[in-house]
Amino acid sequence: NAGVTQTPKFQVLKTGQSMTLQCAQDMNHEYMSWYRQDPGMGLRLIHYSVGAGITDQGEVPNGYNVSRSTTEDFPLRLLSAAPSQTSVYFCASSLTRNRGATNEKLFFGSGTQLSVL
């Protein structure tokens, strides 16, 4: 069972460079999301998607783009990397878009450590 696969695990960028963090799930999950985790801040929601072709902004969307052309894939694009985007990024998915359900477990990828110099 692959679950949620994130690549790369580590990345170093220079200020101004662009890159895409990949996220794929093989569980036919409807809901996918991207978080960043910074010390003392917890996980903050960047963007999320409730299905193919549908995306929306989370708490901290600036500087990031997403798309959801298929159910399986939800890439996160950094358009022009900045040192403030140095963080650990997690992709997460769950079966349905129903965030209110008490059994709506989030499955996480193993994370990407990104450093922007």
Which residues of this protein are in contact with other proteins, per CB under 8 A?
31, 33, 35, 40-45, 48, 50, 56, 58-59, 90, 97, 99-106, 108-111
Which residues lie closer than 8 Å to 101 by C-beta, 6 or more apart?
Answer: none
Q: Which residue's CB is nearer to other proteins, number 28 or number 42?
A: 42
14, two tokens: 């220079």
Residues in the chain, how many?
117
CB 16, min distance to other proteins, A: 28
Q: Name residue 100's beta-bridge partners.
A: none
CB 80, min distance to other proteins, A: 26
